[in-house]
Amino acid sequence: MASRVAIIDTVRQGTAQVERTFGSLTDEQLRTKVHDDERGWTAKDVLAHLAARGSTNDRLVKLGVGESTPLSADAGMDDWNQALVDERTGRSKEALLAEFRAVQDALIAQVQTLPDDALARPIPLPPATMLLGDLLGMAGGAHASHHAQAVEQAIARSAGPVSGS
């Protein structure tokens, strides 16, 4: 399992990358389609998804301290994520970034206060099982960074080739 310090560092790195990526995006760039699947999230939808992670983080922590039941493979995560994004449709980029920062700060506070045995608890997440500490680092850091990178790539693709002078 990653150390408490490493988990917090990972979360902070994810926070910094999201702030760098989304902080300078224009309204037009926020409308860039990032995913081509059925729901087709835009960059702003991705930010809304990241801002909405607080309830997911809380659920994971409850699993770690034995206050919740494990997640099932048919938990409907896609629908749940979409509902959370839809709740945030009218919010500004600044409001979403502020909510995201608050979620990340709350996650760091939870990691700082969780007992070591909770951080080391295996959490079943179909199809695999992960230790809570590793899962929280992934959820707050790697997950956020992955989404930020996907947005950066989508914006770069939408900009097209730069014409010569």
- Grouping H, G, I as helix, E, B as strand and the rest as coil, residue 33 is strand
Q: Is the pLDDT of residue 61 over 60?
A: yes
- Quickly tell me which residue has 């702030």 as its tokens: 19
With respect to residue 78, please indicate whether it lies within any of the assigned structural domains: yes
Choice among 28-42, 70-84, 107-121 with the minimum mean pLDDT: 70-84
Query: Does the predicted model carry a pTM greater than 0.75?
Result: yes
With respect to residue 148, please indicate whether it lies within any of the assigned structural domains: yes
- Region 89-105: mean pLDDT is 97
**Most confident stretch, 64-68, 95-99, 118-122, 161-165:** 95-99
Backbone angles phi, psi at 95, to 5 degrees: -65, -40
With respect to residue 165, please indicate whether it lies within any of the assigned structural domains: no
Residue 36 maps to which CATH number? Answer: 1.20.120.450
| DSSP state at residue 39 | S
- Reported in sequence order, the residue ranges of the chain that DSSP labels E, i.e. its strands, are 122-125, 128-131
The residue ranking higher by pLDDT, 89 or 74, is 89
Q: Which domain range does residue 96 map to? A: 4-159
- Region 141-154: mean pLDDT is 95
Distance CA 127, CA 3 (A): 24
